[in-house]
Amino acid sequence: MKRVYSKTLVILFLATLNVGFISTVSGKINQVATANDTLKTYTNPLGGITNIGDPYILKYNKQYFMYATSSPNGFKVWQSDNMIDWTLKGLALDKNNPANNWGTGNFWAPEVKYIDGKFYMTYSARMTNGKMKVRIASCESPLGPFTNWSEPFLPDDEFSYIDADLLLDGNNIFMFFTKDCSLNIINGKHVSQIYVVRLNKDLKSFAIQPVLATTPDQAWESPNNDWIWNEGSYAMKHDKTYYLMYSANVYSGQNYSVGYATATNPLGPWTKYAGNPVLKKNMAIGVSGPGHNCVTTSPDGKEFFIVYHTHTFPDKPSGNRNLCIDRMIFENGVIKVLGPTRSPQPLPSGVKDRLVSK
């Protein structure tokens, strides 16, 4: 009897191990019951990703790639198949790569677009003369390594430029960028303004002179302050209208928010929406400084999502920010952001569920 009992224990023990092994390998049914939760929702901020800013999400080949202000040596990249759960993949652009060897610091606001079989990253960094300039890097893979493609734009003038964004419009490519308030002084005020220019086909030079798109002039943008901002541009076309989304107020303040302007031509003139801002703080739920956004779509392409950062510590806002997404809709041509949120939200359409470790 003792011998039979021992065998039974051994069998049960091995069966338990086997179930655990099968669960680990399959990552499906048994693991859901024992080690993971199946979720139908997501909650901002995402993925425990902090100490970033200016998030940009590229959707490509049923995958998402997220780039951000994230490293003194370049830009980190994360990958996801559902836009919610992210895996860090390393540095997409490394300034120490011998093919780059440019930029002394302040690597800010990377954005990546897929154009004619290649990935192009716009970004800004500080030159040895102390000024911020915009440059374009390229790569065959969205994960990198990106190496510099263009020379810095406007390298010899007296201003600093940041926050570049490319708009693909038929056969034309437009670049929006910010003339930074650090050196752009107008009537005694430090002013950040958004400009737009059409690029030549090689993405290495301007086809025309840059045109002013927006300047801080709405009440929510604090135009009477000594330092004022329009920055973090993101341009898109919906139906027959061009939308230029941007952020105003200082990035390290709770009032950093998102507004937009519209036009019938990428070169303008641009008219700001009277109901701006469309995304702003909500300290009651712990949201401070939502801004520097881009827009992407759900896996099935049926929903728009605004991608933005908020302050990791809302009561002590700083450059430490995190990643958030919320639904965005067009209602009679008007952008409506269904956020900011801090409560569980339905998963993006096309995502059935998530497996999340307990």
Q: What is the pLDDT of residues 239-288, one digit of tens each?
A: 999 999 999 999 999 999 999 999 999 999 999 999 999 999 999 999 99
- The CATH fold of domain 47-357: Tachylectin-2; Chain A (2.115.10)
Q: What is the pLDDT of residue 357?
A: 74
Residue with tokens 């092994």, as numbered in its chain: 21
Asked whether the predicted pLDDT for residue 27 surpasses 50, the reply is: no
Share of the chain above pLDDT 70, in %: 90
Phi/psi for 10 (5° steps) reads -65, -45
Q: pLDDT grade, residue 355 (50/70/90)?
A: confident
pTM: 0.89
Confirm if 122 and 116 have CB atoms less than 8 A apart: no
CA distance 274 to 290: 19
Residues in the chain: 358
CA distance 333 to 335: 7
